[in-house]
């Protein structure tokens, strides 16, 4: 048996010896040396690498913190303070870790926004995008459990508020909450499992990030023009072009991050995080970490219970929809049938849940009026569903937006809508931190409506109707005109 | 010193007791603290005076269980002074070889001895209220140092009626009216009185002065490594700025030929 003769690739005999047996060096050269990057990729393409760096920083600092931390309700708070006071450079480790979570999210939010703006979720990168959403969900779970570990007032009460959300689900809700807590209240078993999972999930995250990068290296990076590379003139090798560019970007990012660690380490933290957890004293204002606030605001935007009377009104509307659809789609039988099916399905769902609610209703004084007021979907459950839905929506984004043009540069209306989405998200971030009263509630509700309308109504509409601008012929042409424009 | 700061205190009290007394309390006036800012360091003299105020006044009711006597090296005491300070306290240790608990003088490695055996004892001695531990109090309050100082100096007579509801205000026995405390009714009696301590360095022990010093001591207690952190931060930032410059130059050189 003879193998094809391997050509000498590496001058260093040790490297050559290893590479013949395990081609790690060949792989590194292929994926990070000569790997073709669209040459017009701007600094927004550096945030993926920054997020990767943050994950590594979090894992390394986290492991050392875990060596000094005690996951017990009676000792957790003091053990964190011991790290801050008595462990050599413990204060540095802790501030790197707790601010690192914030900067990990900053990098990832910018990375996601980049994807939305330049259409990085579109064919052929749909799966790459979906894996990214999984990463985001895992990050949120990990960050949430990490926030519990110091066992402060914000830890304990944050865990109580968020885990209690699952109690809003009918029938199985209470069971889920008891299962999550490992008991009938937020207590030591809760802290123990949160610590175990907070230690485990980052490594799961690392694995999913590997798959994310793998998928990226199959399709190659998107770019600001949103067109695929056609010739060698369109790309540059990853090294030295993007190692140098990302390297500079990472150092600037580190300046902001470490500047916060050393000079304003508490800027992003609530003061109640420095009181140990007391299940008998509820803090006046329980707020999650800033990176959860937009989703928390969506949760709080739902204030009306969906009752039988509202359901009946909705049913009436749907029934009226049949003749309306008949007239509207007069010329197109196919579309008409589709509309009929959709209306019918919605009606069936409404009737089913209304009947279920009526059957299970336990009324003291059964009367017509009382039955009309029976709650089908409580406001809180609507909020929970909307909060999870707002993230899961991103999974189907590649199919909600079917416009063949990727980059918002060539989609004038989409660009404006995306700006409104960004503003809505920031408004939600602000209102999420406010007490649920007065104008912030209304502002949050408007922003919530826009958030869902953007994805569910505007994008499907724009993908068919929007007049896009002419695309450049090639990435090379795009980057030449960009440099001439300066 | 006293004469200089009295009008300040009065002005502060008048200025900030005027706004409506909401349940959330009144925003404390913004102050400058020497340890704030990128290059801010603790004023060791103030920390030692603040420790004296804590030891002679606050410690009657409030513990600081996260601090050990040896930590006092951070406010400028040497090993002998710390030994002398810790020796003033008696702690219970044991069990010894006979299985008995015994009393001994505290050592520098012991944590600050608290005023009460446990929370129940603390509540029993304070009319049901629990004096909070002060180790982290500056970090654990909204507006941090400004709030602590405002609270310590914010005792006034209660207004006759609530401005919003128009109802008469009655301060129950054992409670005191404080402008800055959320809800205004606080179980802590005004802790600082003019000349309540005699400072070793001759500083006038005005209420304002004691509150300033104590607040700085409490800020240090919550963040004892702040100076080391900032010193390291300055070096790290200098390095990163130089490094960013080198990286930018390298990037420009690499990309120079790309069109």
Q: What is the pLDDT of residues A28-40, one digit of tens each?
A: 999 999 999 999 9
As given in the structure block, the two tokens for residue A197 are 């999972």
Q: Which residues neighbour B133 within 8 Å (Cβ) at sequence distance 6 or greater? A: B62, B63, B64, B65, B66, B114
| Any A CB within 8 A of B242 CB | no
Q: Does B189 touch chain A (CB under 8 A)?
A: no
Q: Is B38 on the interface with A (CB under 8 A)?
A: yes
Catalytic residue among A19, A289, A401, A478: A289
Residue A467 has pLDDT above 90, yes or no: yes
Contact residues on chain A for B255, CB-CB shorter than 8 A? 241, 244-245
Range with lowest mean pLDDT among A12-26, A353-367, A438-452, B66-80: A353-367
Please give the share of chain A, as a percent, with pLDDT higher than 70. 97
Task: Assign 3-class secondary structure to chain B.
Answer: CHHHHHHHHHHHHHHHHCCCCCCCCCCCCCCCCCCCCCCCCCCHHHHHHHHHHHHHCHHHCCCCCCCEHHHHHHHCCCHHHHHHHHHCCEEEECCCCCCCCEEEECCCCCECCCCCCCHHHHHHHCCCCCCCCCCCCCCCCCCHHHHHHHHHHCECCCCCECCCCCCECCCCCCCEEECCCCCCEECCCCCCCCCCCCCCCCCCCCHHHHHHHHHHHHHHHHCCCHHHHHHHHHHHHHHHHHHHHHHHHHHHHHHCCCC
Determine the average pLDDT of the residues in A464-481.
91
The answer on pLDDT for A442 being more than 60 is yes
Nearest to A242 by CA among A262, A219, A271, A220: A220
| Torsion-angle region of B31 (φ positive above 0: left; ψ -120 to 50: alpha; else: beta) | beta
Distance of CA A71 to the CA centre of its chain: 28
Residues 6+ apart with CB under 8 A from B126: B61, B187
What is the per-residue pLDDT across A199-234, written as a single tens digit (0 to 9) for each? Answer: 999 999 999 999 999 999 999 999 999 999 999 999
Task: Choose, from A61, A97, A152, A246, the residue flagged as catalytic.
Answer: A246
A375-377 and B90-93 strand pairing: unpaired
pLDDT score of A80 more than 50: yes
8 Å CB contact between B207 and B192: yes
Strand partners, A152: A276
Of B24, B233, B248, the CB nearest to A262: B233
Catalytic residue (choose from A155, A221, A403, A424): A221
Assess whether A221 carries a catalytic annotation. yes
Residues B139, A274: C-beta atoms closer than 8 Å: yes
> CA of A270 to nearest chain B CA: how many angstroms apart?
8
Per the CB < 8 A criterion, the answer to whether B101 and B109 are in contact is: no
C-alpha–C-alpha distance, residues B130 and B120, integer Å: 8
The least confident of A63-67, A161-165, B61-65 is A161-165
pLDDT at A3: 55
Residue A369: what are its φ and ψ, rounded to 5°? -65, -40
A454 is catalytic: no
pTM here is: 0.92
CA distances from A362 to A208, A230, A356, A374 (A): 47, 67, 12, 9
Distance CA B171, CA B186 (A): 10
What is residue B7's predicted lDDT score, i.e. its pLDDT?
43
Whether residue A169 contacts residue A229, with contact meaning beta carbons closer than 8 Å, is answered with no
Those residues whose C-beta lies under 8 Å from the C-beta of residue A283, and which sit 6 or more positions away, are A153, A154, A157, A272
Q: Are A230 and A30 in contact (CB under 8 A)?
A: no
Question: How high is the mean pLDDT of chain A?
Answer: 93
Host H or E run for residue A478: helix A475-485
A474 in catalytic set: no
pLDDT digits (tens, 9 = 90+) for A81-92: 999 999 999 999
Q: B240 and A92 in contact by Cβ < 8 A?
A: no
How much is the pLDDT for A484?
Answer: 56
Residue A199, helix vs strand vs coil: helix
Task: Retrieve residue A319's tokens.
Answer: 């029934």
- Which structure tokens are listed for A356? 């279920």
What pLDDT does residue B222 have?
A: 97
Q: Which stretches of chain A sit within 8 Å of chain B by CB?
A: 39, 78, 81, 84-85, 91-92, 95, 236, 240-241, 244-245, 247-248, 251-252, 254-255, 258-259, 261-263, 265-266, 271-272, 274-275, 284, 479-480, 483
Taking a C-beta distance cutoff of 8 angstroms, is the pair A39, A482 a contact? no
- Test mutation, A50, A247, A261, chain B, max B CBs within 10 A: A247
Chain A: closest CA distance from residue B254 (Å): 6
* Residue A280 tokens, joined: 């008998």
CB < 8 Å to B247, chain A: 244, 247-248, 251
Instruction: Name the pLDDT band for A334 (thresholds 50, 70, 90).
Output: confident
B contacts of A246 (beta carbons < 8 Å): none
CB contact under 8 A, A274 and B251: no
Q: What percent of chain B has pLDDT over 90?
A: 81
Mean pLDDT of B27-34: 95
B69 vs B81: CA distance, rounded Å: 10
Quick count: other Cβ atoms within 10 Å of Cβ A309? 14
Q: Residues with Cβ < 8 Å from B51, sequence gap 6 or more?
A: B72, B75, B217
| Beta carbons of A271 and B229 less than 8 Å apart | no
Q: Rounded CA gap, A107 and A159, in Å?
A: 25
Closest chain B residue to the Cα of A254, Cα to Cα: B240
Strand, helix or coil at A376? strand
Asked if B229's CB is within 8 angstroms of A262's CB, the reply is yes
Q: Look at A262 and B237 and tell me if their CB atoms are within 8 Å.
A: yes
Q: Distance, in angstroms, between B255 CA and closest chain A CA? A: 7
- Check CB contact of B92 with chain A, cutoff 8 Å: no
- Cα–Cα distances in angstroms (integers) from residue A203 to residues A105, A135, A143, A198, B223, in the given order: 17, 11, 13, 10, 32
**If we measure between CA atoms, which residue out of B218, B181, B141 comes closest to residue A275?**
B141
Residue of B247, B253, B257 to mutate, interface with A, max A Cβ within 10 Å: B247
Q: What is the pLDDT of residue B163?
A: 79
Reply yes or no on whether the pLDDT at A483 is more than 80: no
The candidate with the shortest Cα–Cα distance to A193, out of A159, A152, A158, is: A159
Q: Assess whether pLDDT exceeds 50 at residue A25.
A: yes
Say whether pLDDT at A8 is over 70: no
Each residue of A380-402: pLDDT tens digit?
999 999 999 999 999 999 999 99
**B258 CB within 8 Å of a chain A CB:** yes
Query: Which of A153-162, A216-225, A372-381 bottoms out in mean pLDDT, i.e. has the lowest?
Result: A372-381
Mutate which of A274, A276, A475 to disrupt the B interface (most B C-beta within 10 Å)?
A274
Q: Name chain B contacts of A258, Cβ cutoff 8 Å.
A: 233, 236-237, 240
Instruction: Please state, in angstroms and rounded to a whole number, the distance separating the CA atoms of residues A174 and A247.
Output: 50
Q: What is the rounded distance in angstroms from the CA atom of residue B229 to the CA atom of residue A263?
A: 8
Which residues in chain B are contacts of A480 at CB distance < 8 A? 259
Q: What is the DSSP letter of A364?
A: S
* Record: contact A248-B248, CB cut-off 8 A: yes
Residue range B164-210, pLDDT digits in tens: 788 888 899 889 999 999 999 999 999 999 999 999 999 999 999 99
Q: How confident is the model at residue A2 (pLDDT cuts 50, 70, 90)?
A: low
Do residue B140 and residue A271 have CB atoms under 8 angstroms apart?
yes
Q: Looking at the predicted structure, is the pLDDT value of residue B2 above 70?
A: no
Inspect the interface and report whether the beta carbons of A255 and B182 lie closer than 8 Å.
Answer: no
pLDDT of A311 higher than 60: yes
Q: Report yes or no: A294 and A427 within 8 Å, Cβ to Cβ.
A: no
A334 is catalytic: no
Alpha carbon distance A293, A299 (integer Å): 10
Q: Is the minimum CB–CB distance between B39 and chain A shorter than 8 Å?
A: no
| Closest CB from A39, A252, A258 relative to B258 | A39
pLDDT over 70, % of chain B: 90
Q: Is any Cβ of chain A less than 8 angstroms from the Cβ of B120? A: no
Chain A contact for B144 (CB, 8 A cutoff): yes
The Cα angle at residue B40 between residues B38 and B46, in degrees rounded to 5: 160
Alpha helices, DSSP H, located in A33-125: 47-68, 76-85, 90-117
Reply yes or no on whether A289 is catalytic.
yes
Q: Is the CB of A247 less than 8 angstroms away from the CB of B251?
A: yes
Q: Do residues A186 and A76 make contact, with C-beta atoms less than 8 angstroms apart?
A: no
Spatial contact of A212 and A128, defined as CB atoms under 8 Å apart: yes
Do A244 and B229 count as a contact with CB atoms less than 8 A apart?
no
A89-120: pLDDT as tens digits: 999 999 999 999 999 999 999 999 999 999 99
């Amino acid at each position: 048996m003879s193998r094809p003769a391997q050509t000498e690739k590496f001058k260093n005999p040790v490297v050559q010896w290893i590479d013949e047996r395990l081609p790690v060096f060949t792989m590194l050269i292929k994926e990070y040396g000569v790997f073709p990057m669209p040459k017009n990729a701007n600094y927004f393409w550096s945030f993926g690498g920054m997020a990767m760096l943050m994950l590594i920083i979090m894992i390394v600092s986290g492991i050392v913190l875990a060596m000094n931390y005690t996951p017990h309700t009676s000792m957790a708070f003091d053990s964190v303070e011991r790290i801050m006071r008595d462990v050599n450079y413990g204060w540095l480790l802790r501030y790197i870790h707790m601010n690192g979570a914030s900067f990990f999210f900053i990098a990832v939010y910018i990375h996601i926004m980049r994807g939305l703006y330049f259409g990085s979720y579109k064919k052929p990168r749909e799966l790459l995008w979906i894996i990214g959403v999984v990463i985001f969900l895992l990050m949120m779970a990990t960050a949430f459990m990490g926030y519990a570990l110091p066992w402060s007032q914000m830890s304990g009460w944050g865990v109580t508020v968020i885990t209690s959300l699952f109690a809003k689900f009918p029938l199985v809700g209470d069971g889920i909450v008891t299962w999550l807590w490992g008991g009938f209240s937020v207590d030591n078993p809760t802290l123990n499992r949160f610590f175990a999972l907070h230690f485990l999930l980052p490594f799961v995250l690392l694995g999913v990030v590997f798959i994310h990068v793998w998928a990226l290296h199959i399709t190659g990076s998107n770019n600001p023009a949103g067109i695929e590379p056609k010739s060698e003139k369109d790309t540059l090798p990853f090294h030295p072009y993007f190692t140098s560019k990302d390297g500079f970007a990472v150092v600037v990012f580190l300046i902001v991050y470490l500047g916060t660690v050393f000079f304003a380490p508490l800027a992003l933290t609530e003061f109640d995080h420095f009181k140990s957890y007391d299940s008998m004293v509820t803090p006046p204002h329980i707020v999650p970490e800033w990176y959860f606030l937009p989703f928390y605001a969506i949760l709080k935007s739902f204030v009306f219970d969906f009752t039988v009377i509202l359901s009946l009104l909705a049913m009436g509307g749907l029934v009226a929809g049949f003749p309306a659809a008949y007239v509207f789609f007069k010329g197109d039988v196919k579309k008409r049938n589709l509309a009929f099916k959709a209306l019918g399905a919605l009606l069936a769902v409404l009737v089913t849940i209304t009947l279920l609610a009526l059957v299970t209703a336990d009324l003291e004084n059964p009367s017509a009026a009382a039955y009309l007021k029976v709650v089908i979907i409580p406001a809180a459950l609507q909020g929970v569903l909307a909060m999870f839905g707002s993230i899961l929506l991103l999974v189907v984004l590649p199919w909600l937006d079917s416009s063949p043009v990727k980059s918002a540069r060539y989609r004038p209306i989409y660009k404006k809508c995306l700006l409104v989405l960004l503003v809505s998200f920031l408004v939600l971030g602000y209102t999420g931190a406010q007490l649920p009263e007065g104008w912030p509630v209304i502002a949050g509700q408007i922003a919530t409506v826009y958030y869902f309308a953007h994805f569910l109504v505007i994008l499907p509409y724009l993908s068919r109707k929007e007049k896009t601008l002419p695309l450049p012929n090639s990435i090379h042409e795009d980057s030449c005109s960009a440099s001439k424009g300066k | 010193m006293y004469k200089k700061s009295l009008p300040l205190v009065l002005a502060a009290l008048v200025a900030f007791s005027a706004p409506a007394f909401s349940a959330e309390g009144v925003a404390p006036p913004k102050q400058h603290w020497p340890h704030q800012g990128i290059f801010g360091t603790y004023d060791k003299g103030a920390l030692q005076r603040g420790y004296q105020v804590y030891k002679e006044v606050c410690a009657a009711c409030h513990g600081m269980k996260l601090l050990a006597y040896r930590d006092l090296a951070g406010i400028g005491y040497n090993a002998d002074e710390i030994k002398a300070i810790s020796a003033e306290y008696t702690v219970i240790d044991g069990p010894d070889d006979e299985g008995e608990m015994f009393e001994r003088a505290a050592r520098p490695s012991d944590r600050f001895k608290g005023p009460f055996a446990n929370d129940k004892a603390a509540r029993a001695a304070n009319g049901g209220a629990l004096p909070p531990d002060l180790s982290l109090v500056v970090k654990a309050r909204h507006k941090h140092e400004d709030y602590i100082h405002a609270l310590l100096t914010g005792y006034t007579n209660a207004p006759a009626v609530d401005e919003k509801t128009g109802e008469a205000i009655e301060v129950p026995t054992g409670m005191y009216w404080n402008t800055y405390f959320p809800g205004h009714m606080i179980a802590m009696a005004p802790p600082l009185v003019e000349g309540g301590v005699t400072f070793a360095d001759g500083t006038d022990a005005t209420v304002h002065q004691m509150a300033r010093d104590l607040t700085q001591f409490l800020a240090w207690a919550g963040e004892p490594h702040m100076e080391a952190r900032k010193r390291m931060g300055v070096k790290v930032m200098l390095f990163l700025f130089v490094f960013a410059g080198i990286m930018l130059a390298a990037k420009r050189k690499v990309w120079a030929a790309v069109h």
